[in-house]
């Protein structure tokens, strides 16, 4: 995937996610509990963790993130949840905004070749394509949570 397409898709999905979160904030619904037992605030903190990891990968040009990558997805997400569940929503929302800006700048700092060639990223296996790692942890990840958050919104206001 080329840089321009990747960034366009990232910005589009990030905007959808931001709009959904803003709608939930406006309705003071960040403490509502989803079917998995997490609050909306917990979902945002979870997204922030993955965003931080992708930002780190880009800014260091290395696939050397948290040790949590070495554990099964469910356990990783549970650990992330337990780490951030007590954080105030103001901090989580501030980090969400900060990461949005940082990620867009970082993605723009890459050249087209960085998106398709793992050799640009230290410790990235040669069978990986950087854009696929980024996409699965950024905009594809956002889509999954947008769907869950929109389902919650439809329960609140079915009109």
Domain range summary for the chain, segments of one domain joined by +: 3-156
Q: pTM score, two decimals?
A: 0.94
| pLDDT the model gives residue 27 | 65
Q: Has domain 3-156 been given CATH number 1.20.120.450?
A: yes
| pLDDT the model gives residue 159 | 59
| pLDDT the model gives residue 153 | 84
Rounded to 5 degrees, what angle do the CA atoms 114, 123, 48 make?
A: 70
pLDDT tens sequence across 31-88: 888 878 899 999 999 999 999 999 999 999 999 989 999 999 999 999 999 999 999 9
Is residue 24 predicted with pLDDT exceeding 80?
A: yes
Token pair 């880009």 in the structure block, residue: 58
pLDDT tens sequence across 110-132: 999 999 999 999 999 999 999 99
Is residue 151 predicted with pLDDT exceeding 90?
A: no
**Distance between CA atoms of residues 131 and 73, nearest Å:** 20
Please give the structure tokens belonging to residue 157: 């206001």
Is residue 28 predicted with pLDDT exceeding 90?
A: no
């Amino acid at each position: 995937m080329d840089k321009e397409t990747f960034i366009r898709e990232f910005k589009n999905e990030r905007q959808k996610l931001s709009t959904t979160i803003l709608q939930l904030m406006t309705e003071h619904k960040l403490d509502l509990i989803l079917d998995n037992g997490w609050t909306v605030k917990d979902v945002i903190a979870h997204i922030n963790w993955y965003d931080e990891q992708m930002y780190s990968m880009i800014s260091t040009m290395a696939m050397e993130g948290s040790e949590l990558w070495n554990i099964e997805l469910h356990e990783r997400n549970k650990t992330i949840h337990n780490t951030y569940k007590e954080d105030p929503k103001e901090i989580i929302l501030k980090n969400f905004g900060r990461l949005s800006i940082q990620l867009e700048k970082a993605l723009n700092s890459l050249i087209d070749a960085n998106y398709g060639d793992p050799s640009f990223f230290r410790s990235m296996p040669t069978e990986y394509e950087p854009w696929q790692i980024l996409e699965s942890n950024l905009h594809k990840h956002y889509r999954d949570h947008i769907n869950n958050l929109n389902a919650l919104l439809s329960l609140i206001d079915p009109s």
